[in-house]
Each structure stands twice: as C-alpha cells, then as structure tokens.
Structure 1
Amino acid sequence: MTTNARNLGIAQQAITYVESKMTIGADNKWSDKFASLFAAETSGSCVARIRKSPYPSPRLEQLREMARRALIAGCGNCGEQAAIAFFWLHDRKVAPLEYMTRTNADHAFVVIGRKLDSSFDKPLEWGENCIICDPWAGKVYTIRNVSKKMYGSGPFDPRTVYRFEPEEGQ
C-alpha cells in the first residue's frame, strides 16, 4: 500500500470516528441544527456550553481540552471536530500531523503528511502524500483538490496551530 493510500485510509477512519461521536453535532450546519431541534439539547446551546470556560495554555493543551469537551458533549463545530480527529490520529502515531486553520475563513481541519520545509502559500508543494482530513465537512482529499473542496471562499490561506512530528526513534 502506498503512503498516499494509507494516509487517505487513516484520514477516513478519523472522520468516521468523529462522526460517531457527534451525537448532537455542529451549530453551523443546517442538518445538525435541524436534527438537534428534537433532542434534549440543541447544537447551538451545546457548542455554546462547551466553549463557555476558557481553554488552558499552551496550544497543545488547548486543543486537547477542546477535543475532550466535544467528545463528552457530543457536539462541536469545525475546530472541535478537527481537534478530535487530530488526537485520534496522534494516538495512532500518524505523522507528520497538523491542526490547521484558514486565516481568511473561519475553518479548521487536519493535514497529514505536509513536508516541513514546504511553504504555506504553495499547497501543491506540500508533498504527494499530503492529505486533508476535514471532519466537519466529512471529506478526505489530496492536497491537489484543496481549492475545489475546502470550505470557505477566496484563496486557500492556512496556518498551522500545532504540528506533531515524532522525534527520531519514536
């Protein structure tokens, strides 16, 4: 199996895992908002509740707490869902692994396999094995398709919030 195929497969498994945990869902997806109208708690009130208390520092602990709260509550928008996927992949030693956000759109996602020395503004140079894992959208795709499939309009302008790359020998 090629690295690309392995990355696509593990990213899809992460999305399946996140979907199984989102029992209430996102408050910015109409399908989740509608479905939660008939639940004990709406997606809007659930997301507001898990975001009420500030997250700890440093950045990795912020992501971990974001994922923990979303898992317990069964709700979260793209940031929380990407954090859940990030730690699911992290626990399986998938690397290099990045939690990213768009600077020009309110969206978070996970990237598997980006070359460390690649430029953010040139995603087609991130590497042939680079995969986008976007649990909120329920999509997994290669970096070649980012401009067609990524949520948000305008140019793709990402930034890394946290990168995991195991040290030698791990």
Structure 2
Amino acid sequence: MNITKEVTPEEKRLLEIGDAVIKQVKQDLHFGSSNQQESYNAYGPEAKLRTRFARQHNAHPQKEGRHPRRMALAAVVAGAGNCGEMAACAYVRCRESIGPQYQVLWVSARNADHSFCLLGKLSWFQGHFIVVDPWPTQAQAVLYEDHFMYTLGKLPEVLKRNNGKGANIFNKYAQEQLALERQLEEFLQSAKRTHIPFRGYNQQYVTREPGTITYRQSGVQRCY
C-alpha cells in the first residue's frame, strides 16, 4: 500500500517535524530494538544487551514514577531500545522541536503492549493528532487515524504530557550521561556474549495497512 492523503498546512508541518524526530531517534538508537527482527539480523545480541542496560538505568534515583528524559538518556547512551525507550526519546525530542501551543503526549496503547508519542492540540479530533512512533523499521509520522494502534473512541493511556519547548536533555544531565557511558562500557565488557535467541517482531510499517502514506498539503483548515 502506498496512498496519498490531504492534510491541513498545520498538520503537514507537524508531520514533517515528526519525521525529523523519527530520523533523529533512529540515529540516536542506531543498534535498534531487541524485539525487532531487522536489528537482530544486523547486530545479533548487541541490541538486546544494550536495551537491557537502558532498562536497568532509566529510573530517577530519588523519585518514583515515569521520567521520560532519564529513560531517553539511558537509551541514547546505550544506543538501543524497544518501543518504550523510543517513545520516550520521541517525547523529549518533540518537546524540543515544537511551540507551547501544542501538547506532546507519551502514551501507551490500551489494546496492546506498545508505546508511542502524540502531537497536537487538545481541541483536535483524536484521529488527527500526529503519531511519532520510531519503533517500526520503516517508520514515518502519521495521523493517529492511520496508525496501526488506532482504535476509534478509545484514547491510549497517557503516561506523560506537556507543552512544547522543553529543555535539552543533554544540557540538564551532562554529568549523568558521562557516568552512564562509563557504566555501559563496563556492562558490555562483563556481559556474557553467548547466543541469545530472538523472540520478537518484524514490524516494518507504522500504518494500519502495511505500506506508506504520502501526506499532501491542502489549503483547507479543519474546524474542531
């Protein structure tokens, strides 16, 4: 499937920002995901070991709850992560990339074990929020109604929400980043490099029907 769909200028701009964020997250987590067949084919157990490290070092040392910046930092240092880590990275990068008039939501699907990021305004119809989901191997930003986890009338669970223009993650946690880099080196040196069997997915596309969507800007603004 490769279809063309019209969107408003505002939606098109957010889709372009979403694509740029996905590209950045893919570069940051270049070893991929421990539960994607493509990553296992390319790196063997490396992605699994690095994802394990990211998950062992993603918590706030003094606070409970979800902390996407720390989760993203651990994943970026490790260079790998599954959908949760990738969604946290997307949440952080999106907050850095859009203005305060937009909401950024780090969410988890209610009908499956999958996390991703949403962009938009609270007044918008839910299907026209922008999904930023870097986990599929051929990911692209899409309208929520085109995403493979879209369920009409059933919003995903919101793990964290905030407006755009958050602080740069690396400026705030520079010392922690250096410490994590040292710990990662020690972890990889001590890890037992035996064969780790692959158990996971071959999720290529982010769309409901396998394929890509080309979004074309229309001159019409939606009324919500």
TM-score by length of 1: 0.77
Q: Which has the larger radius of gyration?
A: 2
1:113-132 → structure 2 map (5 Å cutoff)? 113-115=120-122, 125-126=125-126, 128=128, 130-132=129-131
Q: Does 1:164 align with 2:162?
A: yes
Over residues 59-104 of structure 1, what are the superposed CA-to-partner deviations in whole Å (9 max), with x where a residue is unaligned?
46x2111100111110000111111111111112342110001123
Task: Provide closer, same or farther for how the CA distance between residues 140 and 70 of structure 1 changes in structure 2, counting only shifts above 3 A.
Answer: same
Over residues 90-131 of structure 1, what are the superposed CA-to-partner deviations in whole Å (9 max), with x where a residue is unaligned?
112342110001123111100000426x7xxxxxx3264x11
SS of 1:15's equivalent in the other structure is: helix
Match of 2:84 among 79, 85, 90: 79
Q: Which amino acid in 1 is paired with 2:70?
A: E
CA distance, structure 2, for counterparts of residue 127 and residue 150 of structure 1 = 11
CA distance, structure 2, for counterparts of residue 136 and residue 90 of structure 1 = 18
- Matched length: 151
CA contact under 8 A between 2:109 and 2:149: conserved in structure 1?
Answer: no
Q: Does 1:44 align with 2:55?
A: no
Write out the 4+ residue segments of structure 1 that deviate beyond 4 Å after TM superposition: none
CA contact under 8 A between 1:109 and 1:132: conserved in structure 2?
Answer: yes
Following TM superposition, by how much is the alpha carbon of 1:156 offset from its aligned partner in structure 2, in angstroms?
Answer: 6.0
CA distance, structure 2, for counterparts of residue 79 and residue 17 of structure 1 = 16
Q: Does 1:9 align with 2:13?
A: no
Q: Does 1:134 align with 2:133?
A: yes
CA distance, structure 1, for counterparts of residue 93 and residue 111 of structure 2 = 27
Following TM superposition, by how much is the alpha carbon of 1:157 offset from its aligned partner in structure 2, in angstroms?
Answer: 5.3
Q: Does 1:103 align with 2:110?
A: yes
Task: Provide closer, same or farther for how the CA distance between residues 64 and 58 of structure 1 changes in structure 2, counting only shifts above 3 A.
Answer: farther
1:26-41 → structure 2 map (5 Å cutoff)? 26-37=33-44
Following TM superposition, by how much is the alpha carbon of 1:13 offset from its aligned partner in structure 2, in angstroms?
Answer: 0.4
Q: Alpha carbon RMSD of aligned pairs, Å?
A: 2.6
CA distance, structure 2, for counterparts of residue 164 and residue 54 of structure 1 = 20
Over residues 121-144 of structure 1, what are the superposed CA-to-partner deviations in whole Å (9 max), with x where a residue is unaligned?
xxxx3264x111111021311122
SS of 2:56's equivalent in the other structure is: coil
TM-score by length of 2: 0.60
**2:193 maps to which residue?**
none
Query: Any unmatched runs of 5+ in structure 2?
Result: 1-7, 165-224
Q: Which amino acid in 2 is paired with 1:81?
A: M
